[in-house]
Amino acid sequence: MPKRSGFQSSIQEFLTKSNDEVLGELTKFQEGSVEITQRDAWQDQIDLLKEILPNFEEGYILFEFKIPRIGKRVDNILIIKNTIFAIEFKVGSENYFNQDKVQAIDYALDLKNFHAGSHDANIVPILVSTEAKDTSNSINFSEDGILNSCLLANKFNLQNLIDDVLSQSNIQKEIIFSDWINSSYLPTPTIIEASKVLYKGHGVSDISRNEAGSDNLGQTSILLNEIIDNSKRNNEKSIILLTGIPGAGKTLAGLNLACERRMKDKNEEEHAVFLTGNVPLVSVLSESLAIDASKNNKNKTKAEALREVKSFIQNVHHFRDECLENNSPPTERIVIFDEAQRAYDLDKTKSFMKRNKNKPDFNFSEPEFLIQSMDRHTGWTSIVCLVGGGQEINKGEGGMEEWLKALRDNFPDWKVWISNALDSKYYLPSFNLDQLNGRLFRRDNLHLSISIRSFRSEKVAKYISNLLEGNISETKNLLGELKDSYPIKITRSLIKAKHWLRNHARGSERYGLLTSSGASRLKPLGIFSGSITKDNVASWFLKENNDVRSSLALEDAATEFQVQGLELDWAGLIWDGDLIKTSTDWLYKSFVGTKWNNIMDQEAQKNKLNAYRVLLTRARQGMIIVVPEGDPLDKTRDSEKYDPTWNYLREIGIDVI
């Protein structure tokens, strides 16, 4: 198991070691050179801790404990009896800055959520600003054993504060350090956190749950590289269709592959690129990576960092347009298509090209044209398609079958790699795989079956599928299994929902409001579907709560198009009259002019249901659903639009607040 901290020992042993011995271990652990300011800060920490810890000899101390999920390290962890103290030091500071408090809380949350040995412990975040004034602290533990607020200490009162906490601890069982330090660390980063860590050159194994073998993301990454290396070695063309349930890490696997190949591409032969038609995803990840890169490199402006990022993550439509204008092979030999199920079928592509690109004779589906573009290469090339099942949300999105039809009809020399574990209902309702004539290769690790988005429970995606399919008995059973780990609530009050979201989020946890793109009658509640534009979607995901554009302001609700591929910790879904539960099925509606009309087209009905599937699987830690009361004076918002859905959600056992 890799070493996770720069220095670790019993408190007793720490007190007997010289400062130089401790500093030597910390310096050896550090990646790169150690700045004088860092060494001086460590020296002050060691001095202060040696001064206060003789009273707590029955315990353990760690310096620079790695939190790979967010790419940072905890300054110090103290383990005393049944309590873990996560300490953020600000040596020389006279202030308790909010961002430092948030960081200490994030460390505590990370241990509680992702470190198995810390699941049942009391965890206490402390910010030590050594020169700050004394301030009052409230020592209240939440139900999960984390202190409700970050404690604030200086160099004079830290010892007394630790004493006060230990006197109020509500867990009796002491932590066995050998078990704790060797227990599994199973991080589950958001896609924004993960992209930053991967872009810096770390591998998916550093930030995934692969350490305990709890899912197959690590094995999948190895297999993707093996298939591409074989294609390169044998001078072959290959396409890999990587499938997975919502939140299982398909996008993470694609980003990791692009990063790995670019890092190894010393001779610039491959030019691996991550392509997506998901404009919000491109916008959010590009902005996040550019901000992070410019922060970490003072010689690089954000604009320069953004240019570099755009060679790594691109809009698939820009790639397509370049291939339309230029008949030469693309620069890239490895392309990773995110959300490949959303590529357009033949009719939709022909219509789009005629209307938007002035190409009336264009006669390819989008998958066929993209494969044809890569087929221009002499010799090897590889395409990786990341395919979500049951996630087509626009008319004309062809799903996985559209790629297979193109390969069957037009590209007989391409090898095709898929999973052994495909559920045909979601992926292949009508395509016969036998038509691929012996060039089809199946592997177990090409399907990601465990949700890592909803890290508190792997059953959220299954629960939502059963909810939407009307399987009342199974939905109730699954809800019973979810209740303790993944709270789901319903309410008829938007105000109550906002209060619930704010109360549940801690540290830098992200929360926000969601609604479907067809939710046209939420205006009386102050919710305007579509109010988030492509220019401010990055602000919604990245800005803090003092910015009205932020999701944390709870003013603008994101739609399925803006959150697909992204995630929140806590979500509030406002359910409008565009999808109504009847006694036997769902009623699909669109608002045109001044009234709701029935949606009769089966594909449009499927896309409406999938839109809610996307919205209901965005939250990592829990969600609340708002079904409005309705207004008897407004025919477009009367009780018939909302009560049937409300009654269904109550019938399947969701708690009301």
pLDDT digits 0-9 by tens, 553-579? 999 999 999 998 889 999 999 999 999
The predicted structure's pLDDT at residue 210: 43
Is the CA virtual torsion 289, 290, 296, 297 positive or negative? positive
Predicted model pTM: 0.84
Query: Average of pLDDT values for 270-278?
Result: 91
Residues in Cβ contact with 546 at an 8 Å cutoff, skipping those fewer than 6 apart: none
Selected residue with higher pLDDT from 302 and 646: 646
Report helix, strand or coil for 240. strand
Q: How far is the C-alpha of 283 from the C-alpha of 279, rounded, in Å? A: 6
In the structure, what pLDDT confidence band is assigned to residue 631 with cuts at 50, 70 and 90? very high
Structure confidence by residue, pLDDT tens digits, 149-159: 999 999 999 99
Query: Average of pLDDT values for 299-304?
Result: 84
The predicted structure's pLDDT at residue 206: 61
Residue type at position 35:
E
User: Is 60 exceeded by the pLDDT of residue 289?
Assistant: yes
Query: Average of pLDDT values for 194-215?
Result: 62
Q: How far is the C-alpha of 58 from the C-alpha of 348, rounded, in Å? A: 69
Query: Average of pLDDT values for 452-460?
Result: 78
Structure confidence by residue, pLDDT tens digits, 354-384: 999 999 999 999 999 999 999 999 999 999 9
Selected residue with higher pLDDT from 211 and 607: 607
Range scoring the smallest mean pLDDT among 91-95, 284-288, 472-476, 490-494: 284-288
Q: Which uninterrupted H or E stretch holds 62?
A: strand 59-67
The predicted structure's pLDDT at residue 516: 97
The predicted structure's pLDDT at residue 214: 45
Q: Indicate the DSSP class of residue 2.
A: -
The predicted structure's pLDDT at residue 134: 95
Q: How far is the C-alpha of 154 from the C-alpha of 135, rounded, in Å? A: 9
The average confidence (pLDDT) of the chain is 90
Q: Which residue has the tokens 């509606």?
A: 589
The predicted structure's pLDDT at residue 171: 62
- Half-sphere CA count of 252, side-chain side, radius 13 A: 33
Structure confidence by residue, pLDDT tens digits, 236-273: 999 999 998 888 889 889 998 998 898 888 888 999 99
User: Is 90 exceeded by the pLDDT of residue 12?
Assistant: yes
Strand 122-129 versus strand 237-244 pairing type:
unpaired
Range scoring the smallest mean pLDDT among 64-73, 283-292, 434-443, 520-529: 64-73
Report helix, strand or coil for 242. strand
- Half-sphere CA count of 298, side-chain side, radius 13 A: 0
Query: Average of pLDDT values for 176-185?
Result: 89
Backbone angles phi, psi at 62, to 5 degrees: -135, 140
Burial class (CB in 10 A: 0-12, 13-18, 19+), 403: buried
Strand 655-656 versus strand 7-10 pairing type:
unpaired
Q: How far is the C-alpha of 358 from the C-alpha of 250, rounded, in Å? A: 34
In the structure, what pLDDT confidence band is assigned to residue 143 with cuts at 50, 70 and 90? confident
User: Is 60 exceeded by the pLDDT of residue 428?
Assistant: yes
Closest CA to 360 of 373, 351, 347: 351
* C-beta separation of 487 from 653 below 8 A: no
Selected residue with higher pLDDT from 202 and 622: 622
The predicted structure's pLDDT at residue 213: 39
Range scoring the smallest mean pLDDT among 1-10, 396-405, 585-594: 1-10
Closest CA to 108 of 57, 163, 151: 151
Selected residue with higher pLDDT from 446 and 56: 446
Residues in Cβ contact with 635 at an 8 Å cutoff, skipping those fewer than 6 apart: 595
Interior/surface letters 112-133, b for 16+ CB within 10 angstroms, e for the rest: bbbbebbeebbbbbbbbbbebe
Residues in Cβ contact with 241 at an 8 Å cutoff, skipping those fewer than 6 apart: 340, 385, 387, 400, 403, 404, 416, 417, 418, 419, 446
User: Is 90 exceeded by the pLDDT of residue 190?
Assistant: no
Q: Which residue has the tokens 């005629």?
A: 354
The predicted structure's pLDDT at residue 478: 95
Is the CA virtual torsion 463, 461, 521, 594 positive or negative? negative
Query: Average of pLDDT values for 393-398?
Result: 78
DSSP 114-164: HBGGGTTSEEEEEEEETTSPP------B-TTSBBSS-EEE-TTTHHHHHHH
In the structure, what pLDDT confidence band is assigned to residue 390 with cuts at 50, 70 and 90? low
- Residues carrying CATH 3.40.50, the chain: 191-448
Interior/surface letters 259-295, b for 16+ CB within 10 angstroms, e for the rest: bbbbeeeeeeebebbbbbbbebbbbbbbbbbbbbbbe
- Helix spans in 413-567 (H): 424-427, 460-469, 472-482, 494-504, 537-542, 560-563
Q: How far is the C-alpha of 244 from the C-alpha of 489, rounded, in Å? A: 27
* Chain length of the chain: 657
The predicted structure's pLDDT at residue 170: 63
The CATH code of domain 191-448 reads 3.40.50
In the structure, what pLDDT confidence band is assigned to residue 212 with cuts at 50, 70 and 90? very low
Strand 415-419 versus strand 122-129 pairing type:
unpaired
- Helix spans in 428-584 (H): 460-469, 472-482, 494-504, 537-542, 560-563
Q: State how far Cα 8 lies from the chain centre.
A: 31
Q: How far is the C-alpha of 361 from the C-alpha of 433, rounded, in Å? A: 30
Closest CA to 188 of 569, 622, 572: 569
The predicted structure's pLDDT at residue 96: 97
Structure confidence by residue, pLDDT tens digits, 457-497: 778 989 999 999 999 999 999 999 998 889 999 999 999 99
* C-beta separation of 649 from 627 below 8 A: yes
